[in-house]
Structures are given as C-alpha cells and as structure tokens.
C-alpha cells in the first residue's frame, strides 16, 4: 500500500490510498469507488444521512432510529429534521 494517503476523513480515522492494498497492513480494508475514471471518490464511512419531513425533528425520532439499528452520530442545528447516523454495531458494512 502506498505510504501517503490521497484523502483523509473523520480527522484521519479513515484514510484513502491509491493502488492495491498490502494484506499485511493493520486496520480495516474497504473498497473505494469512482463513477468515472479519475472522478471523485465515494468512500464507505459507515455514516448514513437521514432526513425526515420538515417539522419532524430528529430528537423526536430517537426510538425509531434505535429500533432500526442506528444511533445519531451528528445532529445538524441548521436542519433539525436531518442527521448523520451510524450502525449500533459500529461496523461500516452494517450501515
């Protein structure tokens, strides 16, 4: 694996490298996608964006979110009907 990340997300918790991975590297390996050659990348982060109807705030939906297997990772003060969620398991694939 290349030693220099081409992209870092979540304060460095997720790093994107070009080329083939070195299987001996520690950490979780996950594919990165592009829609077209040399296009912008789509990186699985384990986060899911949710939006309820205007007027339905996230705070009122915590029980439903939890029943669906998620927890609120970040509420957005400027859009109280939206939030970033992550799977309760903490696994990217479960998101």
Chain segment 16-70, per-residue pLDDT in tens: 887 777 777 667 777 787 778 777 878 788 899 999 999 999 999 999 999 999 9
Whether pTM exceeds 0.85: no
**CA-to-CA dists, residue 74 to 1, 45, 47, 63, 78, angstroms:** 32, 14, 10, 16, 12
Strand partners, 51: 82
What tokens appear for 74 in the block? Answer: 């970040």
């Amino acid at each position: 694996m290349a030693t220099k990340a081409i992209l870092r997300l979540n304060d460095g918790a997720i790093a994107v490298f070009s080329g083939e991975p070195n299987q001996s590297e520690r950490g979780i390996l996950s594919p990165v996608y592009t829609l077209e050659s040399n296009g912008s990348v789509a990186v699985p982060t384990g986060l899911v964006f949710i939006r309820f109807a205007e007027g339905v705030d996230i705070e009122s939906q915590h029980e439903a979110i939890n029943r669906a297997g998620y927890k609120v990772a970040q509420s957005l003060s400027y859009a109280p009907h939206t939030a970033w969620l992550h799977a309760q398991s903490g696994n990217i694939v479960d998101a």
